[in-house]
Amino acid sequence: MNPYVKSVKALDDYQLALEFENEGWRIFDMKPYLNRGIFTRLQNHALFQAARVVAGSVEWPGGLDLSYDTLYLESQPVEATDPQLAETLS
C-alpha cells in the first residue's frame, strides 16, 4: 500500500507539490489530466489552486479528486532539501 498524502500545495504550472506520510516529497504533473473528463474543470486556475488533502488523497471543490495511489505512483520524487522545492513551498 502506498502512503497517504500529508500536505499539498498547488503550483502555478498545474503541478502539485505533495508531502506523503512517509516524509517523502513528490511532484505530480496535472497537465496530462486537464483535457480528460471532469478534470477539464481544473483548467480554471482558481479552482486548481483550491486543492486540499482529504482522507489522504487530494480533492477539489465539486467532487474532483485523485487517489493517493495515483498521486504516489505517477509523481516524481524530489528531495525536501532541494532549494527549488524549498522556495516553492515557502
Mean pLDDT of 48-57: 97
The domains found in the chain, sorted by start residue, are 5-89 (3.30.2020.10)
Average pLDDT, the chain: 90
State percent of the chain over pLDDT 70: 88
Q: How far apart are CA 58 and CA 39, in angstroms?
A: 13
pLDDT at 24: 85
Band (pLDDT 50/70/90 cuts) for residue 83 is: low
Q: How far apart are CA 60 and CA 41, in angstroms?
A: 10
Mean pLDDT of 9-34: 94
C-alpha cell at 49: 489552486
State percent of the chain over pLDDT 90: 78
* pTM confidence score: 0.88
Torsion, Cα 64 3 23 42, to 10 degrees, reads -10
